[in-house]
Amino acid sequence: MIKPIGSDVLQPLFVYDQDKHQELTRESETLPSVVISSQAAGNAVMMGGGYFNPLKGFMTVGDAMGCAENMKMSDGSFFPVPVLCLLEDVEGIKGAKRIALRDPNVDGNPVLAVMDVNTIETVSDEQMAVMTEKVYGTSDGAHPGVDAFNSQGRMAVSGPIQVLNFSYFQTEFPDTFRTAAEIRNEVMERGWNTIVAFQTRNPMHRAHEELCKMAMEAVEADGVIIHMLLGKLKPGDIPAPVRDASIRKMAELYFPPNSVMITGYGFDMLYAGPREAVLHAYFRQNMGATHFIIGRDHAGVGDYYGAFDAQTIFEAEVPEGVLEIQMFNADHTAYSKKLNRVVMMRDAPDHSKEDFVLLSGTAVREMLGQGIAPPPEFSRPEVAEILMNYYTSTQKT
């Protein structure tokens, strides 16, 4: 199996030893504590599950700036984005060597992790501006990722953490949420060696389904891991339970047995385009995937990124040798009326736009909201039914 990044074996930060977990839980209730941001909570969950291996905790400002500017921390370790715990107020933890980090996304704000405090630093406006521009490629406050990043505080608390739970992801998505360690274990149990990973924050239409199959065939994969984001999205995106149901139905009916794993991870979407694509590849290697599909406008939003920027960044900016996982670069994929099958547009140079079944996201949402199923060339009817039920129900409330 492919090795995780930076170590021979995965080193998740969740405390699995039961006695140690209970002891740490008791201690956490006596420590100075602070409610962290949703973005920081997602970072803690990802570190807890081993996805951000070999990080041991939240970065210093210097390390975060290095990651933003050249994807390297001060010790030379590769990481594609800053992993910060930014707070608005640190009065309650000043002088503390050990603190409890509380979950902003669960009622009662239970302790998510315990941190050994190394530094508490002020992040300057200039530093925030540099990190924003480097990671998101824009400083536009209308960009949902830029807005979320800059809506946090300006006090950065760094240090190693021990994670005590996986926030709401394990309780709300018990059949879907998996840690990187759990996915590795299941891959080994299935006997898979070559594994394609597919990232999604949306339901999967026919083109997505066929893209997974194309990638599997091209690299002679044993299986595909459909790995969906379960955290916060921008307004208007389809909720995780609906996505989960539609993807499971598609996999059940249209993939061969033992060829697909449907899993999810606990993280808020950054919408950072190329940089987020690198992060996606990073933690897919940690979960055991050997190949990763990078699609058109991967992890993008609006018109902030070029259609293939998330593919070219791997050649242009990612340091050589830091990733073993291989990219499967995909073009826009659609149903060809000429060939009566789904193809990548680059593989059909004799086609015009009219030769494909193409529908905009707006048009699809309007159809589903009116109880009209998109054509079967675009969406499997069983998937369309789940989405129609969702859209029509939201219009009634």
| Lowest-confidence segment of 76-90, 223-237, 271-285 by average pLDDT | 223-237
Q: Are strands 291-294 and 260-265 parallel, antiparallel or unpaired?
A: unpaired
Name the 3-class secondary structure at 347: helix
| Lowest-confidence segment of 52-66, 77-91, 100-114, 344-358 by average pLDDT | 344-358
Position 329 in a domain: yes
The answer on 210 and 153 residing in a single domain is no
Per annotation, catalytic residue among 201, 248, 296, 365: 201
The answer on 229 and 185 residing in a single domain is yes
The answer on 318 and 385 residing in a single domain is yes
Amino acid, res. 205: H
The answer on 301 and 339 residing in a single domain is yes
pLDDT interval class at 79 (50, 70, 90): very high
Q: What pLDDT does residue 397 have? A: 53
Position 121 in a domain: yes
Position 292 in a domain: yes
Q: Which helix (H) or strand (E) covers residue 265, if one does?
A: strand 260-265
Q: What pLDDT does residue 23 have? A: 98
Per DSSP, what are the bridge partners of residue 204? none
Percent share of the chain, pLDDT over 70? 99
Q: What pLDDT does residue 369 have? A: 87
pTM across the whole model = 0.94
Provide the token pair at 232.
């916060």
| Lowest-confidence segment of 158-167, 182-191, 202-211 by average pLDDT | 202-211
219 close to 247: Cβ distance less than 8 angstroms: no
Of the candidates 298, 262, 301, 302, the one whose C-alpha atom is nearest the C-alpha of residue 280 is 298
115 close to 33: Cβ distance less than 8 angstroms: no
The answer on 250 and 154 residing in a single domain is no
Provide the token pair at 153.
């505080």
Provide the token pair at 36.
């962290």
pLDDT interval class at 201 (50, 70, 90): confident
User: How far, in Å, CA of 314 to CA of 307, rounded?
Assistant: 14
The answer on 202 and 179 residing in a single domain is yes
Per annotation, catalytic residue among 118, 202, 365, 389: 202
Q: What pLDDT does residue 240 have? A: 85
Mean pLDDT taken over the chain: 95
Task: State in Å, rounded, how far the first CA of the chain is from the last one.
Answer: 48
pLDDT interval class at 356 (50, 70, 90): very high
Average pLDDT of span 307-326: 96
Q: How deeply is 232 buried, as exposed, middle or buried, from its count of CB atoms within 10 A (0-12, 13-18, 19+)?
A: middle
CATH value at residue 362: 3.40.50.620
Average pLDDT of span 105-126: 98
Position 4 in a domain: no
Q: Which of 170, 194, 216 is the last residue of a domain?
A: 170
Q: What pLDDT does residue 239 have? A: 85
User: How far, in Å, CA of 103 to CA of 35, rounded?
Assistant: 6
The tally of domains found in the chain comes to: 2
Provide the token pair at 375.
């054509």
Position 13 in a domain: no
Give pLDDT tens digits for 131-155.
Answer: 999 999 999 999 999 999 999 999 9
Position 332 in a domain: yes
The answer on 328 and 225 residing in a single domain is yes
Place of tokens 């891959």: 187
Name residues whose C-beta falls within 8 Å of residue 110's C-beta, 6 or more positions apart in sequence.
Answer: 102, 103, 165
Q: Which of 151, 170, 189 is the last residue of a domain?
A: 170
- Count of Cβ atoms closer than 10 Å to residue 141 Cβ: 11
Q: Which of 152, 170, 188 is the last residue of a domain?
A: 170
Query: Could you give the C-alpha distances from 166 to 23, 43, 56, 112, 256, in angstroms and in order?
Result: 18, 11, 16, 7, 32
Position 11 in a domain: no
Q: What pLDDT does residue 386 have? A: 94
Predicted confidence (pLDDT) at residue 366 exceeds the cutoff of 90: no
Q: Which domain holds residue 273?
A: 175-396
**Residue 201 a catalytic site member:** yes
CATH value at residue 124: 3.10.400.10
The answer on 279 and 183 residing in a single domain is yes
Position 189 in a domain: yes
Q: What pLDDT does residue 294 have? A: 96
pLDDT interval class at 245 (50, 70, 90): very high
The answer on 240 and 117 residing in a single domain is no
Query: Could you give the C-alpha distances from 97 to 44, 85, 116, in angstroms and in order?
Result: 18, 15, 6
The answer on 264 and 139 residing in a single domain is no
The answer on 245 and 137 residing in a single domain is no
Predicted confidence (pLDDT) at residue 362 exceeds the cutoff of 90: no
Predicted confidence (pLDDT) at residue 202 exceeds the cutoff of 90: no
pLDDT interval class at 396 (50, 70, 90): low
User: How far, in Å, CA of 328 to CA of 296, rounded?
Assistant: 11
The answer on 291 and 179 residing in a single domain is yes
Q: Are strands 57-58 and 155-163 parallel, antiparallel or unpaired?
A: antiparallel
